[in-house]
Amino acid sequence: MGVGRGAPEKLEYATAKSGRQAMIRELRTRAQSLGGAKVYFAYEASALGFGLYDELTEAKMTCYVLAPSRIGRSPHQRRRKTDEKDAERLLDIVRGHVLAGNPIPAVWVPDAQTRDDREVVRARIDAVEKRTAVKVQIRTLLKRQGTPSSFKGARGRTKGYWAWLRSLAGSDQGLPAGARVHLKSLLRQAEALDQEIAQLDQEVAALAETERYAEPVREMMAIRGAGVLTAMAFLTEMGDLSRFSNRKQIGAYLGLVPSSHESGEQDDRKGHITGQGSPRVRMILNQATWIWIRYDPEAKALYERIAAKNPKHKKIALVAMMRHLAIRLWHAGREAQRRAGLFQRRPTEAAA
């Protein structure tokens, strides 16, 4: 911590709630001793959510949750990375913002309802990822045992394939005893995950019918390729769609724009996509885009036209189509949110 431009001082507290509350009391006491000085706080975003942000905001302190990917660090700083040095770096960023007006790389903090709704949609996405991992384990087990699959549709997309696996696990002719036990375990896991996915589909569908999401989901599902899960993942991860003012911001937020390297006389070189933003939304967009291309003639023609420019790198065309679909979803969802009167901000609130 630091007061104005003064030398920084190191304070340590436990990460438990009692430690955080002790830190807040100390900061409040110091602020009062300085005549009611305002407290500015910053920490890096993580999978632990925004609990600390809520506690600091409730204590009337200004808190910024910073995006780690947007905090510039030199190669030297990356090689000498410690918690204390990271804290000093965050202090410099906050000072630069408060005292000099420098931009601060803060993330948008969703409201409590949006955070809670995310849990439902993320649970559904995570369950599918777990089931995919089980399917990979099954194929790996069969390869490890030298049991080639002669069954058509061996990628696990048919009921007959799973029936073949169950017969293989129950027969003493195809696999050794230990491998059969392992296969039976994997099949039970796959079955349990199937039931869990079906239950979570119902939960997501019920959430999509609530007043908060009904109209935006309906408008977004009018776009071919976008289903309930696509719409709900997009809405819960991105929240207030009116905070984006143009399509470029959508592409950049979702990490669907190429990285760029330009310095001095060196020409601007485009690299892989930045990959910033939510990987869940990109995964859902990838699946929805393939459906969009398959069933929408205009989308298919556009994809083929882009792919024809670079036939050896068709992923470039796919990413371009994902960006197109994301922008269409944004337009549809934003207008629906506006008509429904959602995310109405107070005049004093920033639109970042």
pLDDT greater than 70 at residue 291: yes
Q: Where do the domains of the chain lie?
A: 17-100, 113-208, 214-340
According to the model, what pLDDT value does residue 244 have?
Answer: 94
Give 263-281 pLDDT, tens digit per residue. Answer: 655 565 666 777 778 899 9
Amino acid type, 192: A
According to the model, what pLDDT value does residue 275 have?
Answer: 78
pLDDT greater than 80 at residue 345: no
According to the model, what pLDDT value does residue 56 have?
Answer: 96
pLDDT greater than 80 at residue 348: no
- Structure tokens that stand for 289 in this block: 């885009």
- The stretch 282-291 carries a mean pLDDT of 95
- The stretch 131-154 carries a mean pLDDT of 82
Give 329-344 pLDDT, tens digit per residue. Answer: 999 999 999 998 987 6
CA distance linking residue 196 with residue 123, whole number of Å: 10
According to the model, what pLDDT value does residue 351 have?
Answer: 35
- The stretch 158-179 carries a mean pLDDT of 88
To the nearest whole percent, how much of the chain has pLDDT over 90?
74
Q: Which of 40, 87, 84, 43 is nearest to 67 (CA)?
A: 43
- The stretch 191-214 carries a mean pLDDT of 97
Is the Cβ–Cβ distance between 83 and 51 less than 8 Å? no
Binning pLDDT at 50, 70 and 90, where does residue 349 land?
A: very low
- The stretch 153-181 carries a mean pLDDT of 83
According to the model, what pLDDT value does residue 153 have?
Answer: 53
Q: In DSSP terms, which residues pair with 261 in a beta bridge?
A: 269
How many beta carbons lie within 10 A of that of residue 172, not counting itself? Answer: 8
Give 248-260 pLDDT, tens digit per residue. Answer: 999 999 999 887 7
According to the model, what pLDDT value does residue 267 have?
Answer: 60
- The stretch 11-21 carries a mean pLDDT of 93
According to the model, what pLDDT value does residue 295 have?
Answer: 94
- Structure tokens that stand for 311 in this block: 């036939």
Give 81-115 pLDDT, tens digit per residue. Answer: 788 899 999 999 999 999 999 999 999 999 999 99
According to the model, what pLDDT value does residue 268 have?
Answer: 59
pLDDT greater than 80 at residue 245: yes
At 261, which helix (H) or strand (E)?
A: strand 258-261
According to the model, what pLDDT value does residue 110 have?
Answer: 94
